[in-house]
Structure 1
Amino acid sequence: MRLKDKVIIVTGSTMGIGKAIAKKVVSEGAKVVIHGLEEDLGKQVVAEIGSENSVLHIEDLSNEGATQRLVDLAISTWGKLDSIVNNAAIVAASDIHSTDKAFLNKLMEVNTYAPLFLIKSALPHLIENHGAVLNIGSINAWSGEHNLLAYSITKGAIMTMTRNLGDSLFRENGVRVNQINPGWVLTEKEVERKKEHGLSDTWYQHLSKMYAPAGRIIWPEEIAAATIYWLSDESGPISGQVVDLEQFPMIGRNIPKDPSTIPHK
């Protein structure tokens, strides 16, 4: 097992990518702190992976002291902490006209500030165990869709943070910090979000090759599989790296000769 006896916090793990990551790390021998806002869903995750392998914490990460409480729970339950997966995020549509200060601050608090302060809260334990941090970003960090302005800003910020801390913390303390940027993933929330945008209940079964060359988008389990390398000792001294996980290149991608053939998501 590649993560045998490691203790890992996975934020936003009551559903979607976070849930898939939590299940995957336990299958590789880890113990996990499940976190999210949906207590009923969190209890289902614990039931699936076993209460001997997991403990649940329900709290908004923007609350004062929330990150320290997550760390304290890991320590009180298993006596140590090896890794953090900063996965929790608010995905909310906005453009320059609809983005006000309060809205941007809320997204920054959860998507960017909380990961930073969770790392800070956990740092003594990560130093002790030569631990690893994995930030879950987004390919929107590179520029973002026109209607994901605030969200994209927060993901651009966390990418810079990853590179900065990945250098400084590894040099100073041997703590690795890396990031993966998922592309379009078929999570429960994404299914509902697109239905709210007017698409059919089965929109994900009929996708243009423009957006999904494989004929489908990425499954959460495929993102989860990629996290194990970064959390395990297999990644050795690699730190400060950001890897895009999408089925086409973000830069230099071929554009259709006839732009009118591009469907709207």
Structure 2
Amino acid sequence: MRLQNKVIIVTGSCTGIGKAIAERCVAEGAQVIIHGLEKELGEEVVERLGSCNATLHIEDLTSPGASQRLVNLALEVFGRLDAIVNNAAWVISSNIHTTDEAFLRRVLEINTIAPFALIKAALPHLSQVRGCVLNIGSVNAYSGEPNLMAYSVSKGALMTLTRNLGDTLHRENGVRVNQINPGWVLTENEAQRKHEQGLPEDWYTEIPSVFAPAGRILWPSEMAAAAVYWLADESGPISGQVVDLEQHPFIGRNPPKDTSTIPNSVREESK
């Protein structure tokens, strides 16, 4: 039980990677705050985990005071707070032609500013227990797909936040801050997006090798397994680190000799 007696807030945990992380945390002995916007799905997660292990909070993280309310809930229900996982994000297609200033600000508010606000709200309590923060980024942080511009920018900013706070908060407060950057993960939302783009129900069973040398993309449970290390005491004093969880080098990888057979809907949002 690598997370025995720890209390962890996992944002965006009604579905996908966040849900998998919350489930794995409970399996490792933790109690969790489930958060998201999908009330029915969140209730299903809590029911599965048990009310003694999980509590649900439904709210837009950009609402004034939302971060403090999440922190307060953890303290009221479980009596302490050991870690936060900033997983909630808006994955939305855009490029320079379809992005205006208001849209870019909204993406940054959800994907970058909300995680910052939750870290700030949680810091007094994390400092008491020498707790930790795990930010969930994306390999798109390095430059991103052409049609994921605003999302990629927000994840690049989150990565810089992790590096910055991973140094300062560790020295000043004893709080570790690290990040994992998932590659292409088969979440419920990703499966639905690709189906809506016209791909067949089983599109993920035949992914071009340039995107999935292993023959498949990643599972949410594999992201959760990696998250546990950074949330557990076994990661020791390590802070300010960003780890890419992908099956090939994202920067500098060899391009395919012929991309004509790769559907645009696969190429455009491959992460």
Using the alignment, how far apart are the partners of 1:147 and 1:251 within structure 2? Answer: 17
Using the alignment, how far apart are the partners of 1:156 and 1:173 within structure 2? Answer: 25
- Equivalent residue of 2:135, what SS? strand
Contact 1:2 1:232 in 2 (8 A): yes
Structure 2 letter corresponding to 1:27: A
**Alignment partner, residue 113 of structure 1:** 113
User: Size of the alignment, in residue pairs?
Assistant: 265
Contact 1:210 1:262 in 2 (8 A): no
Structure 2 letter corresponding to 1:203: W
Using the alignment, how far apart are the partners of 1:120 and 1:83 within structure 2? Answer: 12
Structure 1 letter corresponding to 2:225: A
How big is the shift at 1:261? 4.8
How big is the shift at 1:252? 2.7
The percent identity for this pair of structures is 67
Using the alignment, how far apart are the partners of 1:256 and 1:182 within structure 2? Answer: 22
Structure 1 letter corresponding to 2:128: E
**Alignment partner, residue 68 of structure 1:** 68
- Residue 169, structure 1, aligned to residue 148, structure 2: no
Which stretch of the first structure deviates more once superposed, 242-251 or 156-165? 242-251
Aligned pairs for 1:26-105 within 5 A: 26-105=26-105
Q: Which runs of 5+ in 1 are unaligned?
A: none
CA-to-partner distance for each residue in 1:44-96, whole Å, 9 max, x for gaps? Answer: 00011111100000000010000000000000011110000000000000000
How big is the shift at 1:103? 1.0
How big is the shift at 1:263? 4.3
How big is the shift at 1:199? 1.2
Contact 1:208 1:263 in 2 (8 A): no
Structure 2 letter corresponding to 1:31: Q
Using the alignment, how far apart are the partners of 2:114 and 2:125 within structure 1? Answer: 18
- Residue 18, structure 1, aligned to residue 18, structure 2: yes
Using the alignment, how far apart are the partners of 2:258 and 2:48 within structure 1? Answer: 48
Using the alignment, how far apart are the partners of 1:209 and 1:259 within structure 2? Answer: 11
Structure 1 letter corresponding to 2:92: A
Using the alignment, how far apart are the partners of 1:102 and 1:254 within structure 2? Answer: 36
Using the alignment, how far apart are the partners of 2:262 and 2:110 within structure 1? Answer: 33
TM-score by length of 1: 0.98
Contact 1:137 1:181 in 2 (8 A): yes
CA-to-partner distance for each residue in 1:180-202, whole Å, 9 max, x for gaps? Answer: 00000000100111112221111
- Residue 250, structure 1, aligned to residue 245, structure 2: no
How big is the shift at 1:207? 1.0
How big is the shift at 1:230? 0.2
**Alignment partner, residue 131 of structure 2:** 131
**Alignment partner, residue 192 of structure 2:** 192
Using the alignment, how far apart are the partners of 2:38 and 2:261 within structure 1? Answer: 40
- Equivalent residue of 2:33, what SS? strand
Which stretch of the first structure deviates more once superposed, 145-154 or 204-213? 204-213
How big is the shift at 1:259? 4.2
Structure 1 letter corresponding to 2:48: E
Structure 1 letter corresponding to 2:211: Y
How big is the shift at 1:256? 2.5
Using the alignment, how far apart are the partners of 1:148 and 1:233 within structure 2? Answer: 35
Contact 1:186 1:219 in 2 (8 A): yes
- Equivalent residue of 1:147, what SS? coil
Using the alignment, how far apart are the partners of 1:98 and 1:43 within structure 2? Answer: 35
**Alignment partner, residue 156 of structure 1:** 156
Give the CA RMSD over aligned residues.
0.9
Structure 2 letter corresponding to 1:213: P
Which of structure 1's runs of 4+ aligned residues deviate more than 4 A?
A: none
Using the alignment, how far apart are the partners of 2:255 and 2:94 within structure 1? Answer: 25
How big is the shift at 1:258? 3.4
**Alignment partner, residue 269 of structure 2:** none
